[in-house]
Amino acid sequence: MQRHILLDLNKLPVEEHGQVNNAIPEEPFVGQCFLSEEEALVFYQSYARKNGFSVRKGRFVFLPSYRNIKLEDEKRILLLKEGGLSVTQIMRVMELERGLRHGELPFLNNDIHNLFAKNHKLHSQNDARELLEYCKSAKNDDPNFQYAFTLDSENRLEHIFWCHAHCFELYQKYGDAVVFDTTYKVNSYDMPFGIFVGIDNNGRTILLGCALLRNEKLITFEWLFKKFTLLMKKSPKTILTDQDPWMKQAIEK
């Protein structure tokens, strides 16, 4: 089907002798008409290029400055996320709730992902604060509870080691041989999770201590093993671990 766009002759520039000037003006004006969408796109691309900005053909929601997730929408999105819905499913549910067609929401999938990242960062900071408060409270309740931590230049939790009182007591009895492992990852924080484990006199595996680390560098392992031996009051006779070269150097040191 051929599509026609009407040209309003009254809107075109007129020469002095009353003849229509078919040349397209360099500056856009209200009511300006074009022979086709392609002609309009070429005109505005040329105008934008000369004036230092860019244009694209499409709806305004590809333009980041027009995209916005309102507070009530944020709450609804986070609630649907708690219900186990994916980003695509959340978008579809909200479109159906408002009677909108696909793509008519004032935000995109990426905006929801960004919302999740912002929300996660906020809760991560709260989680770190709550963990430190818990450790402080546990230490006040029982002096045998052990913990140590470091903060980075932005006052964020960097590394932390903790050992519950009953784990401390087990280490005093069965701490000659210790296994240390950092193969576990805490996905929501993307931090290596290290555990110290041992074996009791019945051959059962026992937990001796835990650590959350920012990275797995030499200086990090040196800090961890130093704090472990200091807080646990003695060094193990044997440490079993993987073949990480930084860990090996830290243990030797």
- Per residue in 20-42, pLDDT tens? 445 556 788 888 888 888 888 88
Average pLDDT rounded to a whole number, residues 124-147:
89
Query: What pLDDT was estimated at residue 135?
Result: 94
Highest mean pLDDT among 96-100, 173-177, 248-252: 173-177
Which range is least confidently modeled, 41-50, 113-122, 178-187? 178-187
Average pLDDT rounded to a whole number, residues 81-107:
86
| More confident: 61 or 231 | 231
Two tokens, residue 93: 């549910």
Count of structural domains within the chain = 3
Two tokens, residue 199: 């074996």
Does 27 fall in a domain?
A: yes
| More confident: 250 or 175 | 175
| More confident: 62 or 76 | 76
213 in Cβ contact with 224 (< 8 Å): yes
Residues 158 and 209 in one domain: yes
Query: What pLDDT was estimated at residue 178?
Result: 94
Nearest to 171 by CA among 243, 224, 237: 237
Query: What pLDDT was estimated at residue 64?
Result: 55
Residues 156 and 245 in one domain: yes
Query: What pLDDT was estimated at residue 225?
Result: 92
Q: Is residue 65's pLDDT more than 60?
A: no
Residues 246 and 218 in one domain: yes
| More confident: 48 or 212 | 212
Residues 150 and 237 in one domain: yes
Does 109 fall in a domain?
A: yes
Residues 185 and 223 in one domain: yes
Task: Please enumerate in sequence order all residues whose Cβ is within 8 A of that of 138, keeping only pairs 6 or more positions apart, or say none.
Answer: 145, 147, 164, 165
Residues 51 and 73 in one domain: no
Does 243 fall in a domain?
A: yes
Residues 152 and 227 in one domain: yes
Does 17 fall in a domain?
A: yes
| More confident: 124 or 144 | 144
Q: How far apart are CA 112 and CA 118, in angstroms?
A: 10
Does 245 fall in a domain?
A: yes
CA distances from 159 to 82, 84, 131, 213 (A): 29, 31, 12, 5
Does 96 fall in a domain?
A: yes
Nearest to 161 by CA among 97, 92, 232, 102: 232
| More confident: 95 or 187 | 95
Does 125 fall in a domain?
A: no
CA distances from 106 to 17, 58, 60, 110, 135 (A): 49, 14, 9, 12, 44
Q: How far, in whole angstroms, is CA 186 from its chain's centroid?
A: 14
Q: How confident is the model at residue 18 (pLDDT cuts 50, 70, 90)?
A: very low
Residues 159 and 237 in one domain: yes
Residue 73 belongs to domain spanning: 64-119
Q: Is residue 119's pLDDT more than 50?
A: yes
Average pLDDT rounded to a whole number, residues 167-182:
92
Residues 84 and 157 in one domain: no
Residues 161 and 207 in one domain: yes
Query: What pLDDT was estimated at residue 175?
Result: 92
- Left, alpha or beta for 88 (phi > 0: left; psi -120 to 50: alpha)? alpha
Q: Is residue 57's pLDDT more than 50?
A: yes
Residues 74 and 38 in one domain: no
Residues 29 and 76 in one domain: no
Exposed/middle/buried for 112, CB within 10 Å: 0-12, 13-18, 19+?
buried
Does 85 fall in a domain?
A: yes
